[in-house]
């Protein structure tokens, strides 16, 4: 197997242009030597996977594999992870969404130095969302949030939410709908930014250990790759991966660290398409999302009850 410095794992679904932007930002990094980029096409139905394969077929450092069906976040990334473990021995594995841009040219040099100063099993960078002017990492500073008490509380809240969504009208859901519509207004965007700044959320400026890291960009060291059979385990389709990973690392005594010195941009506008949805479709979206979240929480609950890690 080839020993390499860096391996980038990108889960692709549908949007070839966005994935190409992510790959381009990686290829522009300084000190990019002895590397591989593994793109997992998660059964994109629009032919974008074939477009990427054609585009990068002449680059021996870029590999593209394809799933037979959309396997969701965990299984899709795990497929790429298995391919990497079977073919390469990377010093660092950088798992990133296909809507993440590596905006610091010296990102890799910074990463290596940070690892020397504070070795980790898993780390996360400052994930900046430009269109919201928001720093999304860490997801939570409380790694002990993954307790049965908290999970049961979240499950009860989701069941309550599902009742509201199925009613098709509630004042609370209607307020969410109006707020989402208002996000498209330039003035409202400015107001949201001011309100966020007043909250004085400054945790993104501090190095933090053993926190819950957002899954848009996660960096794993060689020890994790050597010891972990899967990247995400147990597997959920969507949502909950970060909490399960945090619980798993805490039980195994694998240090997780958030580093504000390394930064990526999360450029996708997320739920911006909700702006154009009717109220009925908005409720359908919330209901589907809640069902996925409930499924993930049930998996996490069983995992905690078994005491796995």
Q: What is the pLDDT of residue 306?
A: 82
Confirm if 111 and 92 have CB atoms less than 8 A apart.
Answer: yes
| DSSP assignments along the chain, one per residue | -EEEEEEEEEEE-S-HHHHHHHHHHHHT-TT--SEEEEEEE---TTSHHHHHHHHHTT-TTEEEEE-SS--HHHHHHHHHHHHHHHHEEEEEEEEEETTEE---TTHHHHHHHHHHHS--SEEEEEEEEGGGTEE---SBS-GGG-SHHHHHHHHHHHHHHHHHHHHS--HHHHHHHHHHHHTTSHHHHHHHHHHHHHTT--GGGS-EES-BPPTTEEEEEHHHHHH-S-SSSS--SSS-HHHHHHHHHHHHT--EEEEEEEEEEE---TTGGGGG--HHHHHHHHHHHHHHHHHHHHHHHHHHHHT--
pLDDT at 2: 84
Tens of each residue's pLDDT in the chain, 309 residues: 789 999 999 999 999 999 999 999 999 999 999 999 999 999 999 999 999 999 999 999 999 999 999 999 999 999 999 999 999 999 999 999 999 999 999 999 999 999 999 999 999 999 999 887 889 999 887 666 678 888 899 899 999 888 877 766 666 666 666 666 555 555 545 555 555 554 445 678 899 999 999 999 999 999 999 999 999 999 988 888 999 999 999 999 999 999 999 999 998 755 445 556 777 787 788 888 889 889 999 998 998 888 754
For residues 179, 183, 188, 189, the Cα torsion angle rounded to the nearest 10 degrees is 140
Question: Considering the entire predicted model, what is its pTM?
Answer: 0.86
Report the alpha-carbon distance of residue 129 to residue 233 in Å, rounded.
27
User: Do residues 208 and 133 lie in contact, with contact meaning Cβ atoms separated by under 8 Å?
Assistant: no
**What pLDDT is recorded for position 271?**
47
Q: What is the pLDDT of residue 178?
A: 66
pLDDT reported for residue 309: 40
């Amino acid at each position: 197997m080839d020993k390499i410095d860096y391996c980038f794992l990108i889960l692709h679904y549908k949007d070839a242009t966005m994935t190409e932007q992510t790959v381009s930002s990686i290829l522009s990094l300084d000190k990019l030597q002895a590397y591989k980029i593994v793109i997992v096409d998660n059964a994109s139905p629009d032919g974008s996977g074939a477009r990427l394969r054609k585009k990068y077929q002449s680059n021996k450092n870029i590999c593209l594999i394809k799933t037979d069906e959309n396997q969701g976040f965990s299984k899709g990334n795990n497929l790429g992870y298995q391919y990497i473990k079977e073919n390469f021995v990377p010093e660092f594995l950088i798992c990133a969404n296909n809507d993440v841009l590596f905006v610091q040219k010296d990102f890799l040099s910074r990463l290596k130095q940070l690892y020397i100063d504070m070795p980790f099993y898993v780390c996360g960078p400052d994930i900046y969302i430009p269109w919201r002017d928001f720093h999304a990492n860490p997801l939570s500073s409380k790694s002990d949030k993954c307790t049965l008490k908290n999970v049961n509380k979240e499950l009860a809240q989701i069941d309550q939410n599902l009742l509201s969504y199925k009613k098709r009208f509630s004042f609370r859901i209607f307020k969410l709908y109006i707020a989402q519509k208002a996000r498209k207004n330039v003035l409202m965007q400015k107001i949201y930014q001011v309100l966020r700044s007043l909250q004085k959320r400054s945790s993104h400026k501090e190095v933090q250990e053993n926190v819950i890291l957002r899954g848009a960009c996660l960096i794993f060291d060689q020890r994790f790759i050597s010891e972990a059979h899967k990247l995400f385990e147990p597997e959920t389709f969507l949502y909950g991966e970060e909490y399960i990973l945090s619980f798993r690392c805490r039980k195994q005594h694998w240090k997780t660290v958030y580093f504000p010195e390394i930064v990526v941009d999360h450029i996708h506008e997320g739920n911006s398409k909700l702006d154009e949805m009717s109220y009925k479709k908005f409720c359908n979206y919330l209901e589907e999302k809640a069902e996925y979240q409930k499924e993930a929480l049930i998996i996490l609950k069983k995992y905690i009850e078994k005491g796995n890690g």
